[in-house]
Amino acid sequence: MTTKYIFVTGGVLSGVGKGITAASIGALLKARGYKVNIQKCDPYFNFDAGTLNPAEHGEVFVTKDGAETDLDLGHYERFLDIELTQSSSTMSGRIFRQVIEDERAGKYLGKTVQIIPHVTNAMQEAIAEAGKGFDVHIVEVGGTVGDYESTAFIEAIRQFRHQVGAKNTLSVHVVYLPYLTASAEVKSKPAQNAVRDLREAGIQPDILIARTDHPVPNGVLNKLSLFGDVAREAVIALPTVKTVYSVPVILEDAGVGRIVAEHFGLTKKKPNLKNWHNLELKVLSKNNKTVKIGLVAKYLDHQDTYASVIEAIKAACWAEDKKADIKWIDAESLTTKNVASKLKGLDGIVVPGGFGSRGVEGKIVAATHAFKRNIPYLGLCLGMQVACIAAARLSGLHDANSTEFDPKTTSPVIGLMEEQKTLTVIGGTMRLGNYECALEKKSKAAKLYGKTKIEERHRHRYEFSNDYEDALRSQGLTVVGRNPLTGLAEVVEASAKKYFIASQYHPEFNSRPMRPHPLFLGLIRSI
């Protein structure tokens, strides 16, 4: 079967849900038995997402092979229940560097290097390579049509349609319908303009997804169909819903799966959406017991900064017929004097990853409080490091710290790997992607996983120093998971506590709404 390509673009404004839309369409095709892949083409001139500010752009998602990517890849993996690779994240910076390197190597034989055709050709090659071996390859173009940065990607997919044939490509344009309170009406003009911008770039949308926070009259959808030259049945109103996991069902009910299948001439298959219906019922159930989970964090301006962590907590709760009430705790505000009052009433505590010294002492205070009060605790990456520092301080090493935060500490419980001490470049210099971990057979972690050999995704630079194991052990905190090749600590746990487990890796990246991660399940089951 020739690979089919679906291009998802956005108009009016960013953040309207292109990623969720693309992932949901992929879920509908996968439910029909097709082999689906998905890719994000981001117009930023960054090489990858590794150095982007999480407070502005949300979390950095990490693939199994170590790509630092946009958070939309997390949506893709959760909706499609697949593991993506480097090829699913294409930023402009990576493309431009490739073109420059090719020019330096003489690949262009002295020709003038230009956006068209050299940059657009490189973009098309990245898309074609990512789609190899799949029935359908979905490509989301980041940003908004009309952005200067997006122009080359838009031109590349316009050309790509001619390269592989119109019947092998399909354009989905996601727009937004604002609501004017003064006149109590949904306005379609911004969406019309967004469709016009796409058509002026040479791309005619086949499906128009109209995002909205209010009910949309048929007259508005008819107008979008008329002025956008899109078949009326292919103009779909997608309202804001209580859970994004309702979107695949909504799009299927609206006929999107059928429209895509008919456009590509795919064999008519009835989708199996039973799991999605069951998940929706669990998520929306009003009978679930509520559990209060404190998320001790420092990036509080943007909830997407911890998107995968939040979804992992929720997924574990749904699996146990519970509902998560996530309380955001400002790590910078936590002190030994106020920790009891600020964490009062919590059923569990999660300390996620992060970089830099800001808020670290508050996270150490939270870990110490959970340890001493026997409150269920799950530490993720930095959450493990602060747990180790907390235990070391309780053992009498009062200045125990990480050299990241205190280079002069006399008790460097956490420090750089030897080969990293001379690095001067920041991007891409961490332990990234999947690494093996061997769990002790009798550990709580091994029982949760149901096995002793696991692979998990990493994104960190500093490591626990095995010289301080005795200090941890004296407080009942034990290293129960190690990398089999290096001996580096991967998992620590306090077996005498109700639940106190922390991992150097990021288990949230492998959590799925219908297949929650064992460490998050363990936390929720302990409550």
Q: Is residue 304 a contact partner of residue 71, using CB atoms and an 8 Å limit? A: yes
Q: Is residue 54 a contact partner of residue 447, using CB atoms and an 8 Å limit? A: no
Dist CA 459 CA 275 (whole Å): 31
Q: Out of 41, 381, 388, 437, which one is annotated catalytic?
A: 381
Q: Is residue 168 a contact partner of residue 68, using CB atoms and an 8 Å limit? A: no
508 is catalytic: yes
CA dihedral 164→166→168→169, nearest 10 degrees, is 100
Dist CA 410 CA 403 (whole Å): 10
CA dihedral 350→319→32→170, nearest 10 degrees, is -30
Strands, DSSP E only, in 198-305? Answer: 207-212, 235-239, 289-297
- Helix, strand, or coil here: 500? strand
For 350, the token pair is 């999660």
460 is catalytic: no
506 is catalytic: yes
For 300, the token pair is 């509080």
Measuring CA to CA, which residue among 210, 218, 220 is closest to residue 187? 220
| Strand pairing report for 36-42 and 136-141 | parallel
For 239, the token pair is 């309202």
Q: Is the peptide bond before 190 cis (omega within 30 degrees of 0)?
A: no
| Strand pairing report for 169-177 and 136-141 | unpaired
Angle at alpha carbon of residue 431, lines to 39 and 393, rounded to 5°: 130
User: Any idea which residue has 């508050």 for tokens?
Assistant: 362
Contacts of 477 (CB under 8 A, 6+ apart): 371, 387, 388, 391, 492, 493, 494, 500
Q: What is the per-residue DSSP string for 417-449?
A: -GGGTT----TT-SEEEEEEEEE-TTSHHHHHH
Q: Quote helix, strand, coil % in the chain, to nearest 5.
A: 40, 25, 35
Provide the terminal-to-terminal Cα distance of the chain, rounded to the nearest Å: 50
Catalytic residue positions?
381, 506, 508
